[in-house]
Every structure is written in C-alpha cells, then in structure tokens.
Amino acid sequence: MNTEPTNPQQTVFEQRKRQDANEMKKHNLQLADAAKDAGVIEPYDYAIFQNHGYMGLYGGLDAKGIHRHKGLKSSENILDHMGSTELAANLFRATQTEEKLRREQIKGKEKANQAHLEVGKKVRKTIEEIGGTMPENLPVADSIRTLEKQDEKKPLKPKSKKKDGES
C-alpha cells in the first residue's frame, strides 16, 4: 500500500532527529567503553564522568541542573529532548572525549573526568566563537519517544488514485 506523509517536512525532521539520537546512543556506548578502559567502572562513577562532560558543555550545569534549566522531569532523559543542533554538540563532545581518552591513554577516574570536562568546555567555546546558541538555551524538543508513539498512532493515508484522463 502506497502512503504519503501528511507533512513531508516534519517527517524528514523526525527521521533526522531519530538518526541523530541513534548515533548519540551508539557513541555514548563507545564513550562508556573508553571510560571503562580509563578506570571509570562503577555506574556511580560513570554518572560523575558524564556530569563532567555536561558541565563543560553546559556552562557548569550537571544533569540535574540541565533538567531544572530546561524544565524536564527527573524521569525524562535529557537526550530524548534534544533537537538536532544540541544532539550534534553532544555527539561531538562524546566522540572527541572518547578519542582523547584512547589517544592519550588516560588512566584514572579523576583524569578521565577532567578530560571530559575539558572537551566539553572546548566544544562550548567553539559554539560561542561561531556565534551559536549555547546548548542550555536551545529549545526543548519533543521527546523522541513521543514522536515514535505518534508515528505508531498515525493512520496511513492511501495515495489518491487518479481518475482516467488526469495526469
């Protein structure tokens, strides 16, 4: 059955956001692996490590601070409410931190935390230098989970059949 999206531009935006979010999830796993190799083993320590990256990128805000600043519930995942620009900044932070940890063979929780903080600050500085909007000031996007649920509920519209003689 052929279908047409009700709003093709919105559908492209949603697809791009899904791709960006999936890419971020993939790189967060790779970052977690690099952090583990550096000595960040326990979940509590990994949360601290992640907060260092957020604090660098978000001007001192940790995960709780980002939740408060953006008006998110504590149960909501920050990454699920990022638009493409914010996801891209976080993706760059994650990939560059992973590379730094591996390239410099950083060992120890404190050194890994410091590296993540520094990379986050450098990404933030770059955003500032090019005149971009700081991540904490970007709008809160609809949750990727909400978009997926809406897609499940959307009835598929059949493509209209052309009558004889129409082009």
pLDDT at 5: 46
Which whole number is the average pLDDT over 47-52? 98
Contact 123/89 with Cβ under 8 angstroms? Answer: yes
Q: Is residue 128 one of the residues assigned to a domain?
A: yes
Q: Is residue 164 one of the residues assigned to a domain?
A: no
Q: Is residue 163 one of the residues assigned to a domain?
A: no
Which whole number is the average pLDDT over 43-48? 97
Which candidate, 15, 140, 158, places its Cα nearest to that of 76? 140
pLDDT at 16: 78
pLDDT at 1: 38
Contact 86/54 with Cβ under 8 angstroms? Answer: no
Q: Is residue 166 one of the residues assigned to a domain?
A: no
Give yes or no for residue 18 having a pLDDT over 50: yes
pLDDT at 2: 39
Q: Is residue 158 one of the residues assigned to a domain?
A: no
- How many structural domains does the chain have? 1
The H-assigned helical ranges of the chain are 8-38, 43-57, 63-70, 84-103, 109-129, 144-153
Give yes or no for residue 60 having a pLDDT over 70: yes
Give yes or no for residue 148 having a pLDDT over 50: yes
pLDDT at 153: 57
Give yes or no for residue 159 having a pLDDT over 80: no
What pLDDT, in 10s, does the model give residues 84-113?
899 999 999 999 999 999 999 999 999 999
Burial category of 99 from C-beta neighbours within 10 Å (exposed 0-12, middle 13-18, buried 19 and up): middle
Range of the domain at 22: 8-150
pLDDT at 17: 74
Q: Is residue 2 one of the residues assigned to a domain?
A: no
Could you give the angle at which helices 43-57 and 8-38 cross, rounded to 10 degrees?
120
Q: Is residue 43 one of the residues assigned to a domain?
A: yes
Which whole number is the average pLDDT over 10-18? 72
Query: 86: alpha, beta or left, given left = phi > 0 and alpha = psi -120 to 50?
Result: alpha
Q: Is residue 34 one of the residues assigned to a domain?
A: yes
Least confident of 82-86, 112-116, 134-138, 143-147: 143-147
